[in-house]
Amino acid sequence: MYKITGSQDDGSFILLNRYTNVVYDVQIDPEKKGLFYDTTIFETRPEACPFFRMDTTKSLAYCTIHRTRPDVCREYNCYRLRIEDNRGVRVGRIIYQRTLLSDNATLKKIWEKHIATLEEPDDAAWQRSMVQMLRTAGYRVL
């Protein structure tokens, strides 16, 4: 989607959105330069945004250009999976590895009772089980 040019030395980059041809100047957030230079995330997530990084010491994910990120990034709701009710209304999101974000009381109860307790070490198998449980409960998982 993007063509990226720039200098890693000073943390300045130019992004070209290949769909809209809009050019963005972005800068690595100064306090995140150390994270930016750690590219090990691409070993397990090769499709990740080139500016997305994990701080494994805190188990947190970061956008390393958060301050200067393009509008498309500002409008993007980062999530692993989206959960919709039977009308197609978003009622929740799965972020990072196994975290539910939702204000929907019914979905939260299902999550706490059936999914949060799933002890599946394999992430792909966990996701398949979680998706099946939610679909059985009438949700769409995208």
Q: Which amino acid is at 46?
A: P
Inform me whether the pLDDT recorded for 127 exceeds 60: yes
pLDDT tens readout for residues 101-115: 899 999 999 999 999
Inform me whether the pLDDT recorded for 1 exceeds 60: no
Mean pLDDT of 52-65: 85
pLDDT tens readout for residues 22-45: 888 999 999 999 999 999 988 888
Inform me whether the pLDDT recorded for 69 exceeds 90: no
Can you say whether residue 88 is alpha, beta or left, with left for phi > 0 and alpha for psi between -120 and 50 degrees?
left
Inform me whether the pLDDT recorded for 74 exceeds 80: no
Inform me whether the pLDDT recorded for 93 exceeds 70: yes
Pairwise pLDDT comparison (70 vs 77), residue with the higher score: 70
SS3 101: strand
Inform me whether the pLDDT recorded for 6 exceeds 60: yes
**Beta-strand (E) ranges in 12-141?**
12-17, 23-27, 52-55, 60-63, 81-84, 90-95, 99-101, 140-141
* Contact (Cβ atoms closer than 8 angstroms) between residue 38 and residue 28: no
